Structure 1
Amino acid sequence: MKPETPLPAPLAALVPWQQWALLLGCSVLLAGMLELVRLPAALLVGPMLVAIALGSNGASIRVPRPLFVSAQALIGCLVASSISPGIFATFLSEWPLFLGSAIATIAASSFLGWFISRLKVLPGTTAVWGSAPGAATAMVLMADAFGADSRLVAFMQYLRVIMVSVAAALVARLWVDTSGVEAAAVEWFPAIEWPAFGAMLGVATVGGTLGYLLRIPSPYFVGAVVLGATLHLGFGVALQLPEWLLAIGYALIGWTIGLNFTRPILRHAARALPQVIGSIAALMAFCGLLAWGLHRLLGVDPLTAYLATSPGGMDSIAIIAAAADNVDLSFVLTLQMLRFLIVLLFGPSLARLVARAIRE
């Protein structure tokens, strides 16, 4: 049997500046198209898809590491600024309910990750991180820091974000008419509030540096989260993250992930697609049952329960919940944020535990 002849890589003939121009132009075009159809995480998914196409066709360019770590710190500031003090009051009022629901979802996702790994669909702890129900970008960054294949983790995470968000929007439409609700206009270039903007830059720089010096896992992201949350919650320091800057950060992360895709990795992801879709559907079904239990046993309104337990796509879930008048937004965001924080704190240990179980 003859060995497989490698296909030509057409982009290898282009000089770096031509590759960068192609990457930038196509990313802006695709991200804009995805934004128009309101696809979740369009500003990250669009550039990542373009980078995958270029990377698998011979592109040699790579995002410089200082830019990538800066983007990680930026996302850390975003997470820190999204944690509001009101969430803790809501949590304390019904903490057994929130904690039990969050742990049940994490346990189910970990089991599915273990099951996919046992089937040899995805290697090592990749399936565990890919199944983790936290903020998708954060899970990809942490997975990379702990040795999992960030390309396949991103493949699982963003596919789930899209599936969960579409399902949540359809479920919401069954309970509330959102046809007359217009999405809030995005202010791409707001006036710079220099104290808040400077605080964000300081948190990103100092937090990332401290994380690196203290050898924290995923140091630039986690360091910015810890420092930013401390200043934001403890001292009321505001952090301004303009939309244009977030778009740059999302693009840098998407490009870094996508440009590392090769044709063999793409083929592997394609072969794993049916099992990955099946695992996402199973996790969504489990969360649906959990929502039904919250509604039947505790009287939580069904739409609130469903949105609160949806596994991932936190930003999209928040938008859908805010559009529905009868949804308890604070309940939804508290459960979503609690689950994310648990995965952030205990995800590495959980991944190691599942990896040990796979080996045994």
Structure 2
Amino acid sequence: MIDALKDRCSAGSRLLPTLAVGVCGSVLAYAVNMPLPWLLGALIATTVLSLAGVRLPAPAGSRKAVLVVIGVVLGAAFTPDMAGDVGRWGASLVIMLLSTAVMMVVSVWLSRRVAGNSVDTAIYAGMPGGLSAVTLMAADSDADLRVVGLTHAVRILVLLLAIPPVLQLIGHVSLQANTTTLTQWLAMPGLADTLMLVGSGIAGAWLGRILRLPNPLLFGPVLVSGTLHITGICEATIPPVIVALAQIVIGVSVGVRFVGTSLSSVGLSLMIAIVQALLLMLIALAAAWVGHLVTGYSPAAALLAYMPGGAPELSLVALSLNIEPAFVTSHHLLRITVLIMIMPLLLNVLKRCRV
């Protein structure tokens, strides 16, 4: 037990430089009033250093804990007065699934026909979301894991960097500077609420694994916390300072994926990944406008819901900007679940057709 504790302390100390870079980037972004400063500041700082050859350790253990925290916070967005709105989600969910199918066709075609990747690589690199599940599934196939990982990492990076200007372009959302006071930053819920929040995180993580949910550490706590909040049993949420720290960890988690990446050695794969991300963004924009016209939800909410994930990252953006986080999270949960279910079947069909 003592040896295990020492190992954890050692791993934590190795992570300090990564977190320090993330915090510095986030503070600088906050100081210059950058939109989504805690997320994008950490992301940009670690990405730049990673591409420059600095080997920053990945926050694997910290990211797991942060996913649970984000899940609890997202669950708090399910309030009793929104119960009637859930019925309006049906049409939007259908639009999301149809747009996801179009995204899948475009991204797989691009990876297979333009980049010349294998069927396995094209399928897993083209899957619009679900990085954690995709990585595990791709490892058991003949896919090129470097191309798969790079494609998903670049897509998430491009989408996160594009979100502020795109949201300002389509309107319906304010990206004004944060005016949260120090008292609000440090506000803590009462003891009973704290116990419920912590309990929902622990129980949710366990439930997510039992139910074999995609990304169980995120969506399990969403289900438990969401149930407590939509029924009115709990009305509290996690303090803003903890949410900001969660954003920093998520930001550096994306940035350090580029450690060891040489631009000269991955030139074609990088260009294909960037083109793919931009094309999928355009598809999501078109679908979001249709979703807005059909459901009445803002184009911003529909866009974040239809974007080809990272579910944790995009749900966190919706939460940070207060853009229908429950709506956005539910869409990403359904998308990833459906994709994981159909992926083996789709792979077999394409191989038989010798695409």
Distance 1:357 1:268 in 2: 32
Aligned to 1:12: none
Q: Aligned residue for 1:347?
A: 339
Give the aligned partner of residue 160 of structure 1.
159
Q: Counterpart of 1:127? A: 125
- Do the aligned partners of residues 243 and 264 (structure 1) sit closer, same or farther apart at CA in structure 2, a change above 3 Å counting? same
Deviates more, 1:258-267 or 1:100-109: 258-267
Q: 2:237 aligns with which of 240, 243, 248?
A: 240
**Aligned residue-pair number:** 320
Residue 169 of structure 1: CA displacement?
0.5
Residue 226 (structure 1) shift: 2.5
Per the alignment, in what secondary structure is the counterpart of residue 263 of structure 1? coil
For residue 170 of structure 1, what is the aligned residue in structure 2? 169
Corresponding residue for residue 47 of structure 1: 42
Contact residue 46 and residue 255 of structure 2 kept, 8 A: yes
2:187 to 186, 190, 194: 190
Question: How far 1:228 sits from its partner (Å)?
Answer: 2.1
Alpha-carbon offset, residue 30 of structure 1: 0.8
Partner in structure 2 of residue 31 of structure 1:
26
| C-alpha RMSD of matched pairs (Å) | 4.1
Q: Report what 2:221 is aligned to.
A: 224
Aligned partner letter, 1:111: V
Conserved? CA contact 2:186–2:239, under 8 Å:
yes
1:8 corresponds in structure 2 to: none
Counterpart CA distance in 2 for 1:232 and 1:207 is 14
Counterpart in the other structure of 2:64: 69
Asked if the contact 1:114/1:354 (under 8 Å) is kept, the reply is no
Q: What one-letter code is carried by the residue in structure 2 that aligns with 1:159?
A: V
Pairwise CA distance, 1:156: 1.0
Match of 2:102 among 78, 95, 108: 108
- Partner AA of 1:99 in structure 2: L
Alpha-carbon offset, residue 117 of structure 1? 3.4
The answer as to 2:198 corresponding to 1:201 is: yes
Provide closer, same or farther for how the CA distance between residues 121 and 190 of structure 1 changes in structure 2, counting only shifts above 3 A: farther
CA drift at 1:353: 4.4
Structure 2: distance between partners of 1:20 and 1:337: 29
- Gapped regions of structure 2 (runs ≥ 5): 1-9, 139-144, 308-313
Please give the secondary structure, in 2, of the residue aligned with 1:165. helix
| Alpha-carbon distance change, 221 to 106 in structure 1, aligned in 2, over 3 angstroms | same
Does the residue aligned with 1:82 lie in a helix, a strand or coil?
A: coil
TM-score (structure 1 length as normaliser):
0.69
- Give yes or no for the alignment of 1:252 onto 2:279: no
- Using the TM superposition, give the Cα deviation of residue 227 of structure 1 relative to its aligned residue in structure 2, in angstroms: 2.2
Percent sequence identity over aligned pairs: 16
What is the distance in 1 between the residues matched to 2:239 and 2:209? 25
Q: Deviation at 1:235? A: 5.4
Distance 1:170 1:37, change over 3 A: farther
TM superposition score normalised by structure 2? 0.70
Task: Sort the Cα spacing of 1:306 and 1:255 in 2 relative to 1 into closer, same or farther, 3 A.
Answer: closer
Secondary structure of 1:90's aligned partner = helix
AA aligned to 1:201 is: V
Residue 308 of structure 1, CA deviation: 3.9
Q: Which letter maps to 1:77?
A: V
Tell me the distance in 2 between the aligned counterparts of 1:264 and 1:95.
Answer: 40
Any conservation in 2 of the 1:81–1:229 contact (CA below 8 Å)?
Answer: yes
**Residue by residue, what CA displacement relative to the aligned partner does 1:83-120 show, whole Å, maximum 9, x if unpaired?**
3344441242x455323322232222222332243244
Question: Structure 1: which 5+ residue stretches go unaligned?
Answer: 1-14, 133-138, 323-328
Q: Distance in 2 between matches of 1:340 and 1:17?
A: 31
Give the C-alpha shift of residue 69 in structure 1.
Answer: 2.3
Q: Confirm or deny: 8 A CA contact 1:116 1:127 kept in the other structure.
A: no
Inter-CA distance 90–253: structure 2 relative to 1 (3 Å threshold): closer
* CA–CA distance in structure 2, aligned partners of residues 288 and 198 of structure 1: 40
CA distance in structure 2 between the aligned counterparts of 1:64 and 1:164, rounded to whole angstroms: 25
Deviation (angstroms), 1:157: 1.7
Q: Is the 8 A contact 2:188 2:238 kept in 1?
A: no
Per the alignment, residue 6 of structure 1 pairs with: none
Contact 2:96 2:287 in 1 (8 A): no
Distance 1:33 1:339 in 2: 33
Over 3 Å counting, the alpha-carbon distance change for 1:153 and 1:281 in structure 2 is: closer
Matched to 2:161, the amino acid is I
* Structure 1: distance between partners of 2:106 and 2:93: 20
